[in-house]
Structure 1
Amino acid sequence: MVMKNYGSRSLSESTALLNHPFFASVAVLGIRLLSSVSAFLFTVLITRSIGASGAGIFFTGLSLATVASILFRFGTDGAALKYIAREHGLDNFELARSYFLFGLTVSIIGGLLGTLLLYLGVWTGIRYYGLDADYGTYLAAFSFSLLPLSIMALMSESLKATDRVSMSVIVSGLINFVVAGILLSPMRSIFGNVGVSIAYLSGLVAAITMAAVHLRHYLRMGPILPVRTLDYVRSLRHFWLISIFNRAIGPYAPLLLLSLLSTVEQVGLFGTAFRVAMVLSLFLAAANAVLSPRISQLYYRGELTKLCILTRRFAFFQNIFVVPLLVTMVVSREQLMGLFGPEFVSGATAFTILAIGQVFNSLTGSVGNILVMTGHEREMWFSSVFGTVLMLLASILLVPSFAATGAAFATAFGVIATNTSALLFVRLRLGFFVVPWFLACNGPMQNLRKD
């Protein structure tokens, strides 16, 4: 079905359109800021407690668990956001609940399978390479975070889909770090370095408990309506492939490659620099959290001009804050990295490169969310593959010689390539550029609905 949307909206209409999402994003941004501060302080606690080498092992274990969680939840979190947001917007509560329960079942089964395989895989690798048993115990302990990570991701996206965006952000990025930070010292004093993973796991359980309280209406017993299984599974496949390339291989492959080709100290430097650079993405993350359900609703109502205006204005406002923040952080990069300990100052160059990549991510706006929430998962998948392949090639070439700095360059290169491709696909498929200073939101724009 092809529908065309011409013309522009009046100033009063566009202002009315912006007001509610804008103020919602301010609240989300405040919570995102608290989340970033809590993650930053948690990283400081980790690095100050166990040093660069211990931090390297921590980031390796956490990366393995995160990547495995993405692989074994099979795209259920992305599909939940798309389908639950759509049915919620159409007031089909029972059908939205059915999609949630379907995704939760898949996540639990996949999470249990992934936990077993990761645990066995870690110990197989430890024995094969003849590494220390304590090192294996530390890494294997993170395998038990896989299932909670999967459930937390699904519940967080489901909260977002039902317009409880602030609670979604609290669940996915605040409560887990706060609880983990509080428990870090006592858990480590009781269990040694394994206590770090136990503290992190406790934070995930706390986040899931909070999410379950707010999703209790979805978790109640009752009849389950049949879902469009074939359509849902097809979307799962696309979301799964996108998440593998964009959220598993892309962010974590350089770190895992670094752990194989360099020292744990270099892994610690890169992991810390990466987490600090991610502070620059909090404005985009806040915008995405608010925009995702609205993008789906506007698209399926055929209101592309409103969609264009909304996404471009969000891109404009977030970049007002991001660019000055980049300059400030880069100028004080050595002092910033020095907060984690004197041995981390040498990671300042890696941080600068990663920060530039994150700023480009912000400059291009919510292009990935726009493609996914409008049914163009295939285009987002292609963009993710394109960026990931370039990132892997750069990692193979640069990591052996330049260690953490090479991994940072490869990561930033992949981010820039992925977002450039997605930006062009939004223009090609929907007829507008998200970049706020490039062309106006006026027709023709086309809505190629994929019902």
Structure 2
Amino acid sequence: MEVGRKTGDDGSSDYLSILSGTSQNIVGIVIAAIATLGANVIMGRVLGPSGFGVVTLVTQAAFVASFATRAGMDMAVLRNVAVEVGVSRWDNIRTPVARAAVIAVGISTLVGFVSFVAAAAVRNLFSIHDELGRWAVEFAALGLPFLALANVWLSATRGLKIMRYTLYFFWAGQPLGWVVLMVIGFRWSETTWMGAATYSLSWAIASAAAYWAWKRESHTWPVTPMARGALGRLVRFAGPRAPAALFSQLLFWTDLFVLTRFASESEIGVYSAALRGGQMIVLFITSVSLMFSPFVADLHNRGEIRRLDGLFKTLTRWTVAATIPVLLLLAIEPGSALKVFGPDFAGGQTALLILLAGQVVNIATGSVGFILIMVGRTGWDLVVYAGSLIMNLGIAFWLCPRYGMEGAAIANAATFATSTWARLMLVRHFVGIQPYDRNYLKLIVPTLVAAVVMFAVHRVTAGSWAVDLVATGSLGALAYGLTYLWLGLTEAERRGIAGLRARLAAR
């Protein structure tokens, strides 16, 4: 059994653990991005824009619904495990995780059954034609219990500050599994229901792997009954988190659901691709936030606020720095990026640019949402998300009839910017930390150099969208990386790299 590194007395072990987890997650994000892109390309080319839109709707509806059906138990066990490990109470861990898994799978199974029975009503809600979406909703609903179990057990392993299982089974395993299963399934039936069925099956496999990982790490710890009131505290923490988690995911997709009431199936498919493209840049911050969460719970529980503030600043700057090349590529090459899904998707480039504007604010504010949750402010988290959802719905219903997918994108971007800024203010008020310092200025020159290189390469290679996209992205990223290593590193980071090189050389 291997437990992640415990928070050190001098804070250096925090950075080592986070650096290790970051390097693992970078690999996972690349695999996830490629696999997700592969799944989308396969669907787009096999099913066309209309079929692509249907599978995107039903699978994302299942994914979003799972944030509510697991009843907040994933974040509850993550926080509970991190806190108990931080004070070495090993006997208080396994039973709460088991209870949380039972609650999550029970609620998810009930919701999945209702969705299966009411599939016709769901298709009508999303304006999916019965012939095009036959059995797609039903198969997507079958995945809900497995989504819940996989996330609860993986959250428990992250509470141990072990990130590799999330890398193996969440970031890499499930998307790759979906691609493989889809390729096999489409050889038998090129239908939307096959896309949904293979999605659910990929989560069933991921949940089995997640259970194995948790048992592997925890099987030697004693199993004791929960202390009096412990289950109640777990439920009280998770209670506001369940609707808040649902709202947080709906913010990514509510404008798409509203657009289905006013746009053609083809336009819905194009906007789905634009949403996918815009969300590519949040994969890194999501992964970092998952890694950062147990440190927040542990350090806050032990009153180490200054150390938490330092970690918050460093992690947010790393997140911004790592995202800049992808953001620049999508901003300079929106049409080429969307053509990856097929030639019919290039019309979504204006919507993609609008979506990117909202995600810039999301990335620049760092892991504020996870911090608010891990310090126990789940009620305020719910308030922010509820208000944001209302805002998103209002703007989307106002603008979608007038401007179509561009109106939906405006609703998405405005809501994300407002929501993340509100949580940043709450974190500063309740915890007394914020993510900014003068070291962000070191990112300016690498960003400008990368932008100039990308624009220059784009002008030279504009004839072929594929060559243009690859050349612009690779050469721009290379220029950014070299300039960042030269001018973007802080003195502490240079010392850390030098120390790491010395240790590696001594082996």
TM-score (norm: length of structure 1): 0.89
For structure 1, the 5+ residue unaligned runs are 1-11, 440-451
* Deviation string, structure 1 residues 339-394 (Cα, Å, up to 9, x no partner): 11111000111111222222211101111111111111122222212322211111
**Counterpart amino acid of 1:215?**
W
1:38-437 aligned at under 5 Å gives the runs 38-126=35-123, 131-133=129-131, 135-193=133-191, 194-217=193-216, 218=218, 223-227=223-227, 228-247=230-249, 249-437=250-438
**Counterpart amino acid of 1:289?**
L
**Whole-Å separation in 1 of the counterparts to 2:129 and 2:37:** 30
**Whole-Å separation in 2 of the counterparts to 1:284 and 1:51:** 31
**Counterpart amino acid of 1:169?**
L
**Whole-Å separation in 1 of the counterparts to 2:269 and 2:91:** 46
**Whole-Å separation in 2 of the counterparts to 1:255 and 1:418:** 18
Is the alpha carbon distance of 1:264 and 1:93 closer, same or farther for their aligned partners in structure 2, counting shifts above 3 Å?
farther
**Counterpart amino acid of 2:194?**
G
Is the alpha carbon distance of 1:400 and 1:37 closer, same or farther for their aligned partners in structure 2, counting shifts above 3 Å?
same
Q: CA deviation at 1:17?
A: 4.5
**Counterpart amino acid of 2:247?**
F
For residue 215 of structure 1, give the secondary structure of its aligned residue in structure 2.
Answer: helix
**Whole-Å separation in 2 of the counterparts to 1:260 and 1:219:** 50
Maintained 8 Å contact 2:123/2:137: no
**Counterpart amino acid of 1:246?**
S
**Whole-Å separation in 2 of the counterparts to 1:154 and 1:71:** 12
Is the alpha carbon distance of 1:264 and 1:139 closer, same or farther for their aligned partners in structure 2, counting shifts above 3 Å?
farther
Q: CA deviation at 1:139?
A: 2.5
**Counterpart amino acid of 1:226?**
M
* Deviation string, structure 1 residues 69-97 (Cα, Å, up to 9, x no partner): 22322111111211122122222233211
For residue 135 of structure 2, give the secondary structure of its aligned residue in structure 1.
Answer: helix
Q: CA deviation at 1:125?
A: 4.7
**Counterpart amino acid of 1:111?**
S
Maintained 8 Å contact 2:388/2:419: yes
Maintained 8 Å contact 1:126/1:133: no
**Whole-Å separation in 2 of the counterparts to 1:78 and 1:174:** 21
Q: CA deviation at 1:274?
A: 1.4
Range with greater deviation from structure 2 (132-141 or 260-269): 132-141
Q: CA deviation at 1:222?
A: 8.1
Q: CA deviation at 1:302?
A: 0.5
* Deviation string, structure 1 residues 55-80 (Cα, Å, up to 9, x no partner): 11111111221233223221111112
**Counterpart amino acid of 1:162?**
L
**Whole-Å separation in 2 of the counterparts to 1:336 and 1:402:** 22
Maintained 8 Å contact 1:57/1:139: no
**Whole-Å separation in 2 of the counterparts to 1:221 and 1:209:** 21
RMSD of Structure 2 on Structure 1 (CA): 2.4
**Whole-Å separation in 1 of the counterparts to 2:438 and 2:391:** 28
* Deviation string, structure 1 residues 325-348 (Cα, Å, up to 9, x no partner): 212221011111011111100011
**Counterpart amino acid of 1:102?**
R
**Whole-Å separation in 1 of the counterparts to 2:278 and 2:122:** 31
* Deviation string, structure 1 residues 226-267 (Cα, Å, up to 9, x no partner): 1512211111112112212212x2122112222232222222
TM-score (norm: length of structure 2): 0.79
For residue 93 of structure 2, give the secondary structure of its aligned residue in structure 1.
Answer: helix
**Whole-Å separation in 2 of the counterparts to 1:376 and 1:202:** 35
**Counterpart amino acid of 2:409?**
A
Which residue does the alignment assign to 2:449? none
Is the alpha carbon distance of 1:283 and 1:132 closer, same or farther for their aligned partners in structure 2, counting shifts above 3 Å?
closer
Q: CA deviation at 1:203?
A: 1.4
Which residue does the alignment assign to 2:454? none
Maintained 8 Å contact 1:59/1:267: no
**Whole-Å separation in 2 of the counterparts to 1:265 and 1:155:** 38
For residue 174 of structure 1, give the secondary structure of its aligned residue in structure 2.
Answer: helix
Q: CA deviation at 1:289?
A: 2.1
* Deviation string, structure 1 residues 191-218 (Cα, Å, up to 9, x no partner): 4412212221221122112212211255
Is the alpha carbon distance of 1:353 and 1:204 closer, same or farther for their aligned partners in structure 2, counting shifts above 3 Å?
same
Is the alpha carbon distance of 1:143 and 1:419 closer, same or farther for their aligned partners in structure 2, counting shifts above 3 Å?
same
Is the alpha carbon distance of 1:390 and 1:438 closer, same or farther for their aligned partners in structure 2, counting shifts above 3 Å?
farther
For residue 74 of structure 1, give the secondary structure of its aligned residue in structure 2.
Answer: coil
**Whole-Å separation in 2 of the counterparts to 1:130 and 1:375:** 40
Is the alpha carbon distance of 1:393 and 1:336 closer, same or farther for their aligned partners in structure 2, counting shifts above 3 Å?
same
Size of the aligned set, in residue pairs, is 427
**Counterpart amino acid of 1:234?**
R
**Whole-Å separation in 2 of the counterparts to 1:134 and 1:220:** 50
Range with greater deviation from structure 2 (22-31 or 339-348): 22-31
**Whole-Å separation in 2 of the counterparts to 1:187 and 1:356:** 37
**Counterpart amino acid of 2:369?**
G
Q: CA deviation at 1:414?
A: 1.3
Maintained 8 Å contact 1:55/1:268: yes
Range with greater deviation from structure 2 (134-143 or 121-130): 121-130
Which residue does the alignment assign to 1:443? none
Maintained 8 Å contact 1:85/1:296: yes
* Deviation string, structure 1 residues 141-192 (Cα, Å, up to 9, x no partner): 2111111111122122122112221211332221111111112122123244
For residue 436 of structure 2, give the secondary structure of its aligned residue in structure 1.
Answer: coil
Maintained 8 Å contact 2:94/2:223: no
Maintained 8 Å contact 2:24/2:167: no
**Whole-Å separation in 1 of the counterparts to 2:73 and 2:343:** 42
Range with greater deviation from structure 2 (369-378 or 323-332): 323-332
The runs of 4+ residues in structure 1 deviating greater than 6 Å are: 127-130, 219-222
For residue 261 of structure 1, give the secondary structure of its aligned residue in structure 2.
Answer: coil
**Counterpart amino acid of 1:195?**
M
Q: CA deviation at 1:219?
A: 7.5
